[in-house]
Amino acid sequence: MDLTVVEGDITAQDVDAVVNAANRRMRGGGGVDGAIHAAGGPAVLEDCVARFPAGLGTGQAGWTTAGRMRARWVIHVVGPNYAAGERDRSLLVSCYANALAVADSLGASSVAFPLVSAGIYGWPREDAIATAVDTLRSTPTDVRSVRIVAFGRAWYDDICAAVTESH
């Protein structure tokens, strides 16, 4: 599997699936979640309501249409809220591993990930990056191309450094 880092907008990635850092309710929100719902349009929310009437638990993953985005699917993961006391790293690891498992079930060959839980959920920056890189490198998958989409130059530089170190 090829792991790359790009700086930019996850909603504009030309991949089979984009990963959404969703909340448990699966009804849209802020940050990456809000951007994906805005870019994908109402079809994303409609599919979330239909597929996940009770939402998803922390660490779980599920998919919906990507609506108006270039991607075919959105793989929604619910990351742990570090700021609210959810500090079990295995929950964060499961977000990445479960997203890859969903991608495999869909037959996706390319997937774009944000850094899950690194925004408003407050997961410490260095560990958020290490968890993403380590889990994406070590999880068996049929996905051929994985990219981590960094929001801003400082994040991009730090993620690139971690990817280079893990090689």
Residues with active-site annotation: 33
CA atoms within 13 A on the CB side of 34: 5
CA distance 53 to 47: 10
Query: Is residue 74 a contact partner of residue 11, using CB atoms and an 8 Å limit?
Result: no
Q: What whole-number distance in Å separates Cα of residue 63 and Cα of residue 76? A: 6
Q: What angle do CA 108, 114, 120 make, to 5 degrees?
A: 145
User: Going along the chain, which residue ranges are E strands?
Assistant: 2-7, 17-22, 61-65, 73-78, 110-113, 145-150
User: Tell me, what DSSP letter sits at residue 141?
Assistant: -
Q: How many residues does the chain have?
A: 167
